Amino acid sequence: MVLLTFGTGIGSAVIHNGTLIPNTEFGHLEVGGKEAEERAASSVKEKNDWTYPKWAKQVTRVLIAIENAIWPDLFIAGGGISRKADKWVPLLENRTPVVPAALQNTAGIVGAAMASVADTTH
């Protein structure tokens, strides 16, 4: 499973058999001569005033590059733009299923809070 957060850049995490694989940095993966986040961060969509279909084509290119490298069984899309997943996820043309993060843009803060609680109980 690959989690991608789309925002100012592209954050990433890979979970394999329940284990976090550290330091994936898929936002810096080269896709068509540019870093993935230069091509498909949600900030790029906003800066260029792209439509969802135009931006989804760029996201598709990034997802296909990741698929070609590791072939995940699922992509989870997070970040603020995940609140509008119905406008762009159906437009993606990659092989692997893509679902929006259940906690959308609050996932990071919830995770930090959970880690903080776990840290104080050990």
Q: Which domains does the chain have, with CATH numbers?
A: 2-120 (3.30.420.40)
Whole-angstrom Cα distance, residue 5 to residue 11? 5
pLDDT score, position 87: 98
Whole-angstrom Cα distance, residue 27 to residue 82? 17
Whole-angstrom Cα distance, residue 13 to residue 63? 13
- Residue 60, pLDDT > 90, answer yes
pLDDT score, position 33: 97
pLDDT confidence band for 102 (50 / 70 / 90): confident
Q: pTM of the full predicted structure? A: 0.86
**Tens-place pLDDT, residues 6-53:** 999 999 999 999 999 989 999 999 999 999 999 999 999 999 999 999
Determine the distance from the C-alpha atom of residue 35 to the mean position of all C-alpha atoms in its chain, rounded to a whole number. 14
Q: Comparing C-alpha atoms, which of 22, 33, 25 is closest to residue 5? A: 25
